[in-house]
Amino acid sequence: MLELLRADCLPGQFPPGTGTLADALAGRCLDGHPQIHGADRPVTDVLFDARGHVAGAVCYALQPRQRAGHVLWAHAGEDFAAMAVLVSWARSRLGTGRPWYAFAGFPAAGPAVAGLPCAFRPATAKALHAAGFTPLTGQHYWHRDIGPHLVDQEPGTHDADPVPRPAGWSLRTGDGPAGAEALMDAPRQGIAHLHGLTLHGGGNGLHTLHEDPGRRLIARCLRQAALCAATGMTAVTDTADPDDPVCRLLDEYGFTLLDAFTVHHRPAAKPPARFGRAHGALPDPAGQHAPGHP
């Protein structure tokens, strides 16, 4: 099972170990909280092929208050047929007549980005679509390597406040409408994670490093990560529009857009129509009124 999980890791994601697997089986995310709040303890079932080898695994849970089912994660080596069986099995175990979500919880292995990387895992996305799931929402995932030379980079003026859980910092540069801010998780297994990146006032990117709050902020984040011996950094954005100021800034600083992590949803199946005795008269095709009938 660990081999299946490792095969589905994108650059910047942590290679799963036994501890990560234990968290995944228990439905815990990176910071120790439940992957889905209010959900029952998840169940993990393993699919075997005809030779008795592990062909895939699916973890699912019921969220009683919302009466919703969740596919927390599923891996099958990007085998469409195996993934289709896993998705169908999870729904049959918790009931097909309820709304379902897939990959809506933050994962046990960081960075904490909810959703399925559809471009990297096309067979899984295809199996979800075949089962009636549709994309609901997602975040775009960026990655870049970090070298030790960034320690010597000019940090610039900044404020950094510790964040307890997950451990990291709240960083900002500039003041008021011309400032920039972000949250950065402390490196884990050499990977720092940047999120909540906001450029107030649009961040037109026409200034030099020491004049542009957005550039100063990214430079500061990279330097902070390098000081903590990080070897890479990931980031998420709500859009991949190349004209978006945040996307332009990440691209300028060497980040590569890798995929979109997308949450999927399947609404509850509508109950079949029920027919009963009509009240009053029903018009017949000739425009006359006929007595009510079943």
**pLDDT tens-digit readout, 226-256:** 988 999 999 999 999 999 999 999 999 999 9
Between 222 and 18, the higher pLDDT residue:
222
- Residue 261: per-residue pLDDT: 94
- Report whether pLDDT(263) > 90: yes
φ, ψ dihedrals at 12, nearest 5°: 95, -15
Residue type, 116: L
pLDDT the model gives residue 275: 59
pLDDT at 287: 43
280 sits in the region (left: phi over 0; alpha: psi -120 to 50; else beta) called left
Helix (H, G, I), strand (E, B) or coil at 215: helix
Confidence band, pLDDT 50/70/90 cuts, at residue 49: very high
- pLDDT value at residue 64: 92
Give the pLDDT band of residue 164 (cuts 50, 70, 90): confident
Where b means 16+ CB within 10 Å and e means fewer, 4-42 reads bbbebebebbbebeeebbebbbebbbbeeebbbeebeeb
Could you tell me if 260 and 117 are in contact, meaning their C-beta atoms sit under 8 angstroms apart?
yes
Mean of pLDDT values over 99-104: 95
Rg of the chain over Cα atoms, rounded to whole angstroms, equals: 24
- What confidence score (pLDDT) does residue 16 get? 72
Answer for the pair 60, 42: CB distance below 8 angstroms, yes or no: yes
Q: Is the pTM of this model over 0.75?
A: yes
Q: What is the pLDDT of residue 158?
A: 52
Confidence of residue 31 (pLDDT cuts 50, 70, 90): low
- The predicted pLDDT at position 293 comes to 37
| Section 3-14 average pLDDT | 87
- pLDDT the model gives residue 106: 77
Q: What's the mean per-residue pLDDT of the chain?
A: 83
Task: Report which of residues 289 and 93 the model is more confident about.
Answer: 93
Q: Of 16-30, 109-123, 218-232, which one has max mean pLDDT?
A: 218-232
Spatial CA neighbour of 250 closest among 186, 182, 176, 189: 182
User: Is residue 63 scored above 70 in pLDDT?
Assistant: yes
Whether 71 has a pLDDT exceeding 80, the answer reads: yes
Judged by average pLDDT, the poorest of 33-37, 93-97, 145-149, 289-293 is: 289-293
